[in-house]
A = this chain, B = another copy of it.
Amino acid sequence: MGDRERQIEHSWRTNASAWTSLVRSGQIESRRVATDKAIVDKITEHRPRNILDVGCGEGWLVRELIRQGLEAIGIDGSPALIESARQFGVGKFEVLSYAAIRSANILSDTTYDAIICNFSLLGESIDDVLLILSTLLSDQGKLFIQTLHPLVAFGEESYRDGWRTETFASFGSAFKEPMPWYFRTVGSWLNLVRSAGLTVIDCIEPVHPVTGKPLSLLLVCTNK
């Protein structure tokens, strides 16, 4: 794991409380107006018998899927976020970092009909994580990856893979630590998924209902 990947994990420990408040108060507009519904609708469309939410954060998605009658568990590398996730007594949540997923495939006694990475693939070296997740899919299992849409995410910089910094400045002063994250182009996402032996079977791009700009890229993948 590189320095920046370690910084990502550290930021989610430091900012856990600020993040929990932000998500639960619905202050992230793109999630409120489009991307939350997009991921929930796409997962429920496939009627998975069991679901693993990787990088579940404070757990909203697991709770929502359980509310809809599905079986879901969440894992996250931040103990503070998992503590937040457990507050409601709904759903099963475990602390598990990407490093732990990599080093010991401790999830391997079960396979999942749906594995979700909802805005949670933030590092540069994630090919091995994707490879391990692909082995955890059931025969008909789907991997759902939602990420900031490369069009809006690349902003004023070059449209090329590279590290960026999220300062959380637009979300007020509660965040104590910026978070590095790795920008990928559309092609880079597609080639990455393919190199993990996965095939994209559906691609959705939720747009902002007013501006018409794409907010996220949502890939549904299966093993080949």
Contact = CB atoms under 8 A, between A and B. Distances in A.
Interface of A: 150-151, 157-160, 185-187, 190-191, 194, 199-205, 207, 212-214, 217
Given A199-B199, A202-B191, A217 B159 contact: no
A205 B154 CA distance: 14
Contact of A159 (B191, B194, B205): B205
B201 A214 contact: no
Contacts of A191: 202-203
Q: How many copies does the complex hold?
A: 2
Contacts of A190: 190, 200, 203
Given A150-B151, A151-B150, A158 B207 contact: yes
A186 B203 contact: yes
A224 to B, nearest CB: 9
A191 to B, nearest CB: 6
A36 B189 CA distance: 24
B150 A212 contact: no
A159 B185 CA distance: 17
A84 to B, nearest CB: 33
B214 A185 contact: yes
Nearest to A209: B158
Contacts of A185: 205, 214
B151 A212 contact: no
Contacts of A203: 186-187, 190-191
